Structure 1
């Protein structure tokens, strides 16, 4: 059993009433990072309200395509061919997640991969809230050199046995989350919970199927994200003004975790006639972030340039009434 390294992480005498009643610590390994990539293994550690382990579960998943960066996760096509499809394990996976807060390291990634798999299977993941342990470590002010899982584990004396193996990564995170949760309870810290909205909009794109192609070798991997949007047809009308409407052509940048799948949010902005920018510059009209104190490069530049910053909820409201661009002369 892990020994708590600080008195702050010892069991508090009073537990915050608003804290969740249970957690599902999750890790998924995937064929890559893009929206059409697939889950190839998943692990869940179920924890009670105080972070104590109740049980754990692990499965391989046949992604029906090339496995991607084998040199990272070690799962080959041969190993995955006999694994169950996601649709076959969806119900059991859902049972592990139901009525719990999903906890993950960089939780937006794990949640989006899970949500997409359920959308492909024409189902909904039973998750309503998620907690990112990176965000929690910031709330606690932990003196970590970076945001890697290994750094969080080292801080609490947790030994990792097999990095990039879903079951071991989930175990490590569960052991590091318990003292983090207790430290938060001891200090009555607000947990950085975010809403999880089930993904219902989905269009799958063709991807190389798992197995050898004619002539030998495996199909090309799409594990690196690559997605190009059409150019915005409207000129940039300038910065958004507080209290005003968004205008077609405005350049919008996003930073950090979002409740809605990031690419769906960007799709909606594009469909509304906005220019989705991948970086922030002096001509950016607006930055959307749920964590304005994060210190990311985009947030820092927004402060330097005086770029307006709003959260996702406010942006969603503005998207309902975007001012059309004036007709071209």
Structure 2
């Protein structure tokens, strides 16, 4: 993921060159969950809204509990299939800068649902093509995977700008930025509001957060061509997915001992709380013949994390397991002195 400053456009853009998207799903992974709603707002440099779009989606499967996404089973059952809304989403997202909170998940769901709809249409068209006579129905054309010119991730941007986030939800980020926003904490009152209202509220807030982050510094952005799905369906960089899928080059020598050199084969986890682009750290890890892992386990040798106080998430669990932490700068320095096991 690259950092960009100022205007996100790289090619001539529409009158409203940005599009904010908020989704609701049945789970956290596109490989196992399904979208049940999507909210879209196109906007310009002044924050003026162009088109507004909201759709409730029926995935044809159990939508899960109401509290997870705000929709009842009856509302989901009355929703549209993703194949019915994909062309509209293509028109709204193509050639615009897409703004989302947590791009691996949101973009992952959009890509997963688009490909699922396209594959179903292709199967149906092949089946129809095997028929004979003049009674064939028209071929289905459901649309394509949307083609934004760039994808800006407000969550990744906040991490690169070193904004403390004990809670990564958008409302908490807004509060950290000084933006007046409703609390992200679930309440009975909020649970009783219609999903289209709460999703639109989040999407409006997303636009405010985008502008505030852009005024403060660089934005974390990437392009669809630089991403692909990991085993959970999350859209991540090729660098990260390649590292996750790479074979282990050497046996794991165990936990890193602070003050000593890293050893080839050690297992490295990169926490979200780093100031550098994680891809830079992952590339350095692989070049030094270390092993990159997304998951923190007792076989982890070292974690890269810049936060040393008020630990949370992976970093907190690493310390509890006795796994040492290195800042991103310390790690890049350490990989220049990686040794073979025998030279430790």
Coarse TM-score class (shorter-chain normalised): 0.5 to 0.7
Change beyond 3 A, Cα 1:253–1:140 = closer
Higher helix fraction (1 or 2): 2
CA gap 1:126/1:31 in 2 versus in 1, 3 angstroms: same
Who is 1:253 aligned against? Answer: 269
1:1-329 map, 5 Å: 18-21=6-9, 22-34=17-29, 35-120=31-116, 121-122=118-119, 123-127=144-148, 128-133=150-155, 135-136=157-158, 139=161, 146-152=167-173, 155-158=178-181, 162=190, 167-184=196-213, 188-197=215-224, 235-237=251-253, 250-256=266-272, 276=293, 278-279=295-296, 284-285=300-301, 287=303, 297-298=313-314
Q: Is the 8 A contact 2:301 2:323 kept in 1?
A: no
Change in Cα spacing, 1:162 to 1:196, as seen in structure 2 (3 Å) is farther
Cα pair 2:101 2:155 within 8 Å, conserved: yes
**Structure 1, gaps ≥5 residues long:** 1-15, 206-228, 240-244, 319-329
Distance 1:118 1:247 in 2: 41
Q: How many residues align?
A: 258
Partners of 1:165 and 1:193 lie apart in 2 by: 32
Tell me, in whole angstroms, the C-alpha distance in 2 between the residues paired with 1:178 and 1:246.
45
1:180: how far off?
4.0
| In structure 2, distance between residues paired with 1:31 and 1:308 | 36
Instruction: Check conservation: 1:61, 1:83, Cα contact below 8 A.
Output: yes
* Partner Cα distance (1:166, 1:132) in 2: 22
Q: What per-residue deviation string (whole Å, max 9, x for no partner) do you get for residues 276-315 of structure 1?
A: 462266x5346578xx56975445758x95556779xx9x
Match of 1:51, SS state, is: coil
RMSD: 5.1
- Asked if the contact 1:40/1:80 (under 8 Å) is kept, the reply is yes
Deviation (angstroms), 1:37: 0.7
CA distance in structure 1 between the partners assigned to 2:90 and 2:74 by the alignment? 27
SS at match of 2:18: strand
TM-score between the two structures when normalised by the length of structure 2:
0.55
State the Cα deviation string for residues 101-120 of structure 1 (Å, max 9, x = none). Answer: 32233333212211222232
Separation in structure 2 between the aligned mates of residue 72 and residue 46 of structure 1, nearest angstrom: 26
Give the secondary structure class of the aligned counterpart of 2:161: helix
1:42-75 Cα shifts (integer Å, max 9, x gaps): 1111111232222210011111211012233243
Query: Residues 109 and 280 of structure 1: is their aligned pair in 2 closer, same or farther, counting only changes over 3 Å?
Result: same
- Structure 2, unmatched stretches of 5+, are 10-16, 120-143, 184-188, 234-244, 257-261, 274-278, 336-344
Give the direction of change, closer, same or farther, for the CA distance of 1:194–1:273 in structure 2 (3 Å limit). same
Alpha-carbon distance in 2 for matches of 1:157, 1:201: 35
Does the Cα contact within 8 Å between 2:24 and 2:36 map onto a contact in 1? yes
Query: How far apart are the structure 2 equivalents of 1:133 and 1:201?
Result: 19
Deviation at residue 139 of structure 1 after TM alignment: 3.4
Quote how far apart the aligned CAs of 1:149 are: 3.3
Shift of 1:33: 1.6
- Cα 1:71–1:18 shift into 2, 3 Å: closer
Query: For residues 276 and 180 of structure 1, do their structure 2 counterparts lie closer, same or farther at Cα, with a shift above 3 Å needed?
Result: closer
Per-residue deviation, 1:28:
0.9
